[in-house]
Structure 1
Amino acid sequence: MSGKHLLVTGFGPFPGVPINPSAVVARRLAALARRHGLAGGDVRLLILPTAYGAIPTHLVPALAEAPGAVLMLGVARRATRVRVEVRARNRASRLFPDVSGHVARRLTLSADGPAERRAPPAAPALATLRRNGIPAIASNDAGRYLCNAAYFRGLAEAAPVLFIHIPPLPRAGRPGPYRRGRSPVEALAAALVAVARGLLARPSIHRADRAIEENAMGAVPNPISGVL
């Protein structure tokens, strides 16, 4: 079955983040979305290794299955509110190694790609989160690490795609910025189900720049760390 399923993605651990909150929330979101019958219950979960090599080996095959919508999650360690990413930029940094010790191959993600790719679902998703009690803001900067790289690749697809950065989860017993009476994971996952429902209701769009260089998403050993 293809074309109508929901793809939910999160990231695994990376240096400084041994337990990635995006994976925790993505798992709960996928479970709730199935329970609510989104996409006829066909909700697929993908926890990406935090490595540049995971984009061609994990993300691209999942996108090739033609999901009806893609909701991507990542963690922003300094954020205090949920950030709805409005765009992904065709840029990378060679300063930050991934979990395998590699950095981006070059400073652009795609030699032939546009300077940026924008996400039309961002504005309605932001409104949905706020209606569901989630403190959220729009963000124009998805960073220069794996989150931006994965988002840039995802936005090349015709299906509605959205990336949301979540802040670190508060410690047990503390509600953080979320409504009291629900755990932060439950509150976020429930609100994201509503966001996913909106994504699935949107039509696919034509991407004139859909064909990009997959090899440009590769990685090279980090010359700073010396990891091979």
Structure 2
Amino acid sequence: MGSECPPAAAVTTVHVTGFKKFHGVSENPTETIVNNLMEYVNKKGLPKGLVIGSCHILETAGQGALVPLYQILQSAITAKESESSSSNKTIWLHFGVNSGATRFAIEHQAVNEATFRCPDEMGWKPQKVPIVPSDGPISGIRETTLPVEEITKALANKGYNVMTSDDAGRFVCNYVYYHSLRFSEQNGTKSLFVHVPLFSTIDEETQMEFAASLLEILASVS
């Protein structure tokens, strides 16, 4: 009896993505946030029970983002399956910029519709096209299983100007989020998309603090 090993503590592994520049946004704040996030949180100290599995920057293009996105998703699932503990959880955390926003937005859902207001970085400009045709009409919705309202409230209590959103747009952000939510549903993981403003609206240091605070909250609610 006394020789039994205690159960391993549950670990939440978060894989983070941001985007490169795109039409009208020559410097994407999410590229800076995600590239610097690992070093930033390591200096502050990661919350107990949380690991950053990877940080990647995606092309701001529907099809251009998909291949690396699925490579990231699948490699993380493969790594998770090789681990002995079944209590470990995986979260995909995607950051995108809303250049007209004045506050952070925690996105509750994605819609099965691609209607790009301008061509993406590969020149694609779909209009009222289903993201995944086999999922049905463009009105179809996928929702995150993470507690969006609870996350938003916790961030607001820390002093951040943040809101819950039910509309991630119809551009590449929504496109990536829809695929991520679909993959998560199929593989027993969780996915969350967060829109951030430009650094000229909310400065870089505040946005880095926000990202670190969000990770801390995800470790406690997931």
> SS at the partner of 2:135?
coil
Q: Deviations over 1:30-54 (max 9, x none)?
A: 3333442356654411110111123
Q: What residue identity is the alignment partner of 1:30?
A: M
What is the percent sequence identity of the aligned residues? Answer: 25
Query: How many Å separate the matches in 1 of 2:155 and 2:100?
Result: 20
Which structure's residues are more often helix, by fraction? 2
Give 2:67's aligned residue.
Answer: 57
Deviates more, 1:4-13 or 1:22-31: 22-31
Q: TM-score, normalization: structure 2?
A: 0.76
2:162 aligns with one of 136, 139, 145: 136
The answer to whether residue 9 in structure 2 is matched with residue 5 in structure 1 is: no
Long gaps (5+) in structure 2: 1-10, 81-89
Contact 1:160 1:202 in 2 (8 A): no
Q: Deviations over 1:64-106 (max 9, x none)?
A: 1137112111110111111111111111115421112122386
Q: What residue identity is the alignment partner of 1:102?
A: W
Long gaps (5+) in structure 1: 171-175, 178-183, 204-228
Larger radius of gyration: 2
The answer to whether residue 50 in structure 2 is matched with residue 28 in structure 1 is: no
Q: Structure 1 residue 110: deviation in Å?
A: 0.9
The answer to whether residue 204 in structure 2 is matched with residue 185 in structure 1 is: yes
The answer to whether residue 167 in structure 2 is matched with residue 146 in structure 1 is: no
Give 2:4's aligned residue.
Answer: none
Contact 1:80 1:167 in 2 (8 A): yes
2:216 aligns with one of 185, 193, 197: 197
Give 1:45's aligned residue.
Answer: 55
1:94–1:167 Cα change, 3 Å: closer
Q: How many residues align?
A: 190
2:111 aligns with one of 89, 110, 128: 89
Q: What residue identity is the alignment partner of 1:26?
A: V
Query: How many Å separate the matches in 2 of 1:153 and 1:201?
Result: 25
> SS at the partner of 2:16?
strand
The answer to whether residue 141 in structure 2 is matched with residue 116 in structure 1 is: yes
Contact 2:96 2:195 in 1 (8 A): yes
Query: How many Å separate the matches in 2 of 1:196 and 1:146?
Result: 23
Give 1:181's aligned residue.
Answer: none
Contact 1:87 1:141 in 2 (8 A): yes
1:138–1:41 Cα change, 3 Å: closer
Query: How many Å separate the matches in 2 of 1:187 and 1:16?
Result: 23
Deviates more, 1:29-38 or 1:112-121: 29-38
> SS at the partner of 2:131?
coil
Deviates more, 1:32-41 or 1:143-152: 32-41
Q: What residue identity is the alignment partner of 1:97?
A: P
Contact 2:117 2:171 in 1 (8 A): no
Contact 2:109 2:144 in 1 (8 A): yes
Query: How many Å separate the matches in 2 of 1:129 and 1:201?
Result: 13
